[in-house]
Structure 1
């Protein structure tokens, strides 16, 4: 029997879900996002087990595990498509809804009151209920007689070829006790139909992937219409660009760039150095606008990363000092981290910064300290070339 579960399907779903932050941030998609990741966390193991058990199992326990993992796949995909409002061929009363178990129904007289054969989905639910003996009876199946209740005391996988009928498919034999007849009934289900059914429902996940891509494309079309409000004041221009990126739920370093440009020198001796450094940052504004409007988020992030990089002085301990300064002197740090950041800023000033700038760590705001540290590192780097 060929493997029917293609791992690329759930991997492509994961890739599409990760392509934007929209699904994790916008209220209408949060349930889908959480379900999607719950599904993905389980799917790898589910698919792996099913693919390793495409041949008829040797024991009831193996079959029950197959049904358990198969149920996870079938139910999760069904719910994902429901949340995405995706229709598929199995939602309509067409021939495709009778692809796997129709002959089983005819052979075992599993017929609805109107004379129709139940769909594959209904038969799957019936098989699952019997297999799991949960909720210990199957009276919900609409093709049973009125008031009939069924129980399954055992499941027998016919794994030994000598037990198969001539030219017959290997089957799972579900034993049934019923309140409607005295003898034990045997429901024989070809195993490859069960695998085929699970695989067919799993493949529907690709429709979910396409719908996610469609949502992203529609978002991109909306974003492409957004224009940065270019002002004579570079700060206002950058604030407009930052607001646009935040509306797209993209985490960039634009706010960090803005904070550097907002710094006012508190010591006269630093003023020209600060103006010179800020002028270099201002030169980047047109490129930032271009990338925001062209939806080049990756390019923007790379550009800002390069622009805001801090060259590290070559003396021992400089790397540690810079890490603690920039991690501690920010609004998200706790009091202990902040104090550590100030202490390392003082150490940096003694070891290196005093050659290039004037700093009074006790009196300066955090943003001015960090800007002066950047300027000192930049000047130190230039002197070492």
Structure 2
């Protein structure tokens, strides 16, 4: 006889927890603190939830594989079965959906000496005798009274058990029995163990996951309803468009769990940006207006919590697939690294003053080499060989490497934007974004 817990149930629990993972990340609970000598502190529960889910996965697999006809299979089912229960109970506690153990004797039918026993207490009593405290079972007064108990061994069904059944009818139909020594008894005490009852109990505890799933559903639905009702201030309700974006950042943090929200940092940067070149400034202003329209759509979805699957957090959409050089496209992001790594206010001040010009005497030499190679009508792969030679010769920095690769793919932009390679990294990256957008409008 084996346990047959359905792994799909825990998969459903994991999926439900991940469905709104930002809500899961916010969950807190009380945990015992080593620093406070057993006292509880309220702290984040996300790591605990993840640990429990992973444990449940492997425990279900292991417990289902146990051969309960063997004694050590029995010991294992008590030990790992209780660990499984502990994991489920922990998640149950976090989501405030406790298992109704009180007065439940549907599996073992053992009320104990004072009638206050239940399945949970009796399972722990059996576990103590069989595996965890066989030589010091002392914490189960309901089932052992005031005397300590010692269990030298567990025995299976056989001739001896059939003989014992005559004087101990409670052993009838038992699969095993625990032999128990007590100081107040002349003869041994025999505690019956029925595998079917253990399976029934563990299955019932495992099925409590279904109620946890339902509780998480209710919790998430309530959170969503509250957030839909909570108004996100509109641009016209804010002092400036920048202050509106800062308010939107708070809404992102609350609704999507993204406290840093680098997208909005970039949006604010773009709204604060300006070019000295009039043509480029005109293109930027057009880009900014398009961005505002895209942000309006994002705002609407955020307000209505329509942020699953196809929720696009990029207000200006453009294509990049007209450029076949995927490596070059990837390395263009080097140009935004410094901006994204700076504290917000420091980054905004840099943008407001137009950035730091990229003063680099050797860059002209690198770009000149690329221009001459392009004039020779080299293939894409040959151009990349030239780039690698430049890298070997100059030991280029990330900022230089992004400019070298941009120079190689510049012909694909068909003069949509005249790139200024001496601009600040972030301003050059903004030129690239505008160029992609304008090329996408053409296609």
What TM-score comes out, normalization by structure 2 length?
0.70
In the TM superposition, 1:92-131 aligns within 5 A as 93=103, 97-102=104-109, 105=110, 111-112=112-113, 114=114, 116=115, 118-131=117-130
Of 48, 51, 65, which residue of structure 2 is paired with 1:38?
51
In the TM superposition, 1:239-278 aligns within 5 A as 239-251=246-258, 253-278=263-288
| Mapped contact 1:259–1:367 kept (Cα < 8 A) | no
Quick check: 1:25 aligned with 2:26? yes
Deviation at 1:42, TM superposition (A): 0.7
Quick check: 1:294 aligned with 2:304? yes
Distance in 2 between the 1:87 and 1:27 partners?
16
2:393 maps to what in 1?
A: none
Distance in 2 between the 1:378 and 1:11 partners?
42
| Mapped contact 2:317–2:437 kept (Cα < 8 A) | no
The aligned length equals: 362
Aligned partner of residue 307 in structure 1, secondary structure? coil
Deviation at 1:307, TM superposition (A): 2.0
Structure 1: gaps of 5 or more residues: 334-338
Deviation at 1:161, TM superposition (A): 12
| Mapped contact 2:255–2:305 kept (Cα < 8 A) | no
RMSD: 3.6
Structure 2: gaps of 5 or more residues: 30-41, 166-170, 344-395
Quick check: 1:68 aligned with 2:79? yes
Distance in 2 between the 1:57 and 1:231 partners?
67
Which of 203-212 and 77-86 deviates more? 77-86
Quick check: 1:47 aligned with 2:57? no
| Mapped contact 1:224–1:293 kept (Cα < 8 A) | yes
1:150 maps to what in 2?
A: 149
- What do the CA deviations read for 1:320-348 (whole angstroms, capped 9, x no partner)? 43254455652179xxxxx9441233214
| Mapped contact 1:313–1:377 kept (Cα < 8 A) | no
Aligned partner of residue 155 in structure 1, secondary structure? strand
Quick check: 1:204 aligned with 2:208? yes
| Mapped contact 1:310–1:377 kept (Cα < 8 A) | yes
Quick check: 1:376 aligned with 2:432? no
Query: Structure 1's 214 and 317: CA in aligned 2 closer, same or farther, altered over 3 A?
Result: closer
Distance in 2 between the 1:316 and 1:38 partners?
38
1:336 maps to what in 2?
A: none
In the TM superposition, 1:337-356 aligns within 5 A as 340-353=397-410, 355-356=415-416
1:8 maps to what in 2?
A: 8
Aligned partner of residue 81 in structure 1, secondary structure? helix
Distance in 2 between the 1:50 and 1:63 partners?
10
Query: Structure 1's 156 and 373: CA in aligned 2 closer, same or farther, altered over 3 A?
Result: farther
- What do the CA deviations read for 1:322-376 (whole angstroms, capped 9, x no partner)? 254455652179xxxxx94412332144324494545555652x43222112223
Distance in 2 between the 1:3 and 1:155 partners?
20
What TM-score comes out, normalization by structure 1 length?
0.79
- Structure showing greater relative contact order (alpha-carbon pairs closer than 8 Å, 6 or more residues apart): 1
